A and B are shown apart, each in its own frame.
Chain A
């Protein structure tokens, strides 16, 4: 990957459970963003966390960032079947381009 890896590659949970996805990256960043992709479609932005922030919330989403470990996690609480999608982290670097991780396929079983 250009920037890093996501873990796990695939995750299957029951509706109502929490889902946690992790992202690691390689270089210094300006911010880290999470995106969602439904099958065969474009990506949709979920949340952005700046390099000087440690945690951010948006609805059922919670993102953490540890710049010392070059890692981030996305937590989706009380998952729903409609959360089934692929989730990508992306880092914006000094060059201002946006580089994506390898993605996690989340399946929420009703």
Chain B
């Protein structure tokens, strides 16, 4: 089992609410990622971080924001949730080498009503 955890697993919230999806890893990995997964399966990179105080936007534009104040923690925040944000959000981490695998959390399935 990978030591990367996401909470909550499922979240149903009303439009306009602010939410934070939590992601923590205990492997000491420098690199962390957030992916958004469509119902049709494709994963889109929305944010990544190469270390503390480093955050970058991915290739899919997202209204969410992230922070990386501690190595082990990479939360994702939506200031005002909308139904279009309904999706599965997957957090992953990997160490610094290029020939390394990514470890994924179990995902957060977000539904905005």
Q: Is the CB of A48 within 8 A of B101?
A: yes
Number of interface residues of B (CB under 8 A): 29
How many chain A residues sit at the interface, stated as a range, is 20 to 34
**Once the chains are docked, how many angstroms separate the CA of A24 from the CA of B77?**
33
**Once the chains are docked, how many angstroms separate the CA of A2 from the CA of B38?**
13
13 extra A-B contacts, CB within 8 A, seeds A96-B98, A99-B45, A100-B42? A2-B59, A30-B99, A31-B99, A33-B101, A33-B102, A42-B6, A43-B102, A45-B101, A48-B99, A50-B99, A86-B41, A102-B41, A103-B42
**Once the chains are docked, how many angstroms separate the CA of A96 from the CA of B33?**
12
Contact residue among A44, A48, A97 (Cβ-Cβ distance under 8 Å from B104): A44
**Once the chains are docked, how many angstroms separate the CA of A97 from the CA of B104?**
14
Q: Among the listed stretches B63-71, B78-86, B105-113, which one makes contact with chain A, having 4 or more residues with CB under 8 Å of it?
A: B105-113
Given that A86-B41, A88-B43, A105-B41 are contacting pairs, would A98 and B99 also be in contact in the complex, using a CB cutoff of 8 Å? no
**Once the chains are docked, how many angstroms separate the CA of A103 from the CA of B92?**
17
- Offer 16 A-B interface pairs, CB within 8 angstroms, sorted by A: A1-B42, A2-B44, A40-B88, A40-B107, A42-B92, A42-B105, A42-B107, A43-B43, A48-B99, A90-B102, A92-B99, A96-B31, A99-B45, A99-B59, A100-B35, A103-B42
- Which residues of A are at the interface with B, using a C-beta cutoff of 8 A? 1-2, 30-31, 33, 35, 40-45, 48, 50, 86, 88, 90, 92, 96-103, 105
Interface centre among B42, B44, B101, B107 (most CB of A within 10 A): B101
